[in-house]
Amino acid sequence: MTNSKLDRRKKYTRMVLKDSLIKLLKEKQISAITVKEICELADINRSTFYAHFLDQYDLLEKIEEEIIEDMGGYLNQNNYEKEEDDLQLLERILEYFVSNHDVCQTLLNEKIDTSFEKKVMAFAHQSFMQKWKTINRFENDLSKYVSTFTISGSIHVIKVWSNNGMDKTPKEMAEIINNLIKNGLSGV
């Protein structure tokens, strides 16, 4: 058997296991999901599951890490060094959420106990802190507070948007978020 067949089979197995976990997370907490349930839904036997993942928590961790890594790659396709690029960066983030809506909405659901929101915040904090240092927008002491406030608010706005069926385009939402960040409530 060739390596490409093994690779395809391995990718397929991981994909159906991930999809199965996401489906189950829509119904219940990770702590209430068993490996047996995941395997039954994926139509994969448990020994195959354990060949790829330690347990359901390891599978969830891998899903979260892949999304963060994928988001980083997606955003790194462009350079956002100028202040004017803020709107474009926000729009790209929102486009990413649209293209991965099902997974992102499930992992950002408040009823689901995952660490995904913290990972998104850490990723955004790192990305924005580097950008803000480049344009010297805030002093170092203040920047971590401004960043935390801005990112937390933005994530919650994205969650509300997602739960409303993404009733606005990514461009419209980027303009709303950017306006709130730049002008606060006085700009609304």
List pLDDT tens digits, range 41-72: 999 999 999 999 999 999 999 999 999 998 88
Band of residue 18 on the pLDDT scale cut at 50, 70, 90? very high
The torsion angles phi and psi of 139, rounded to 5 degrees, stand at: -70, 155
Of the candidates 101, 98, 106, the one whose C-alpha atom is nearest the C-alpha of residue 24 is 106
Phi-psi region of 165 (alpha: psi -120 to 50; beta: other; left: phi over 0): left
Instruction: Give per-residue pLDDT as tens, 99-124.
Output: 998 898 888 887 776 688 888 888 88
Q: Which H/E stretch holds residue 66?
A: helix 56-75
Name the one residue in this structure whose structure tokens are 């919650």: 156
Q: How far, rounded to the nearest angstrom, does the alpha carbon of residue 45 sit from its chain's CA centroid?
A: 29
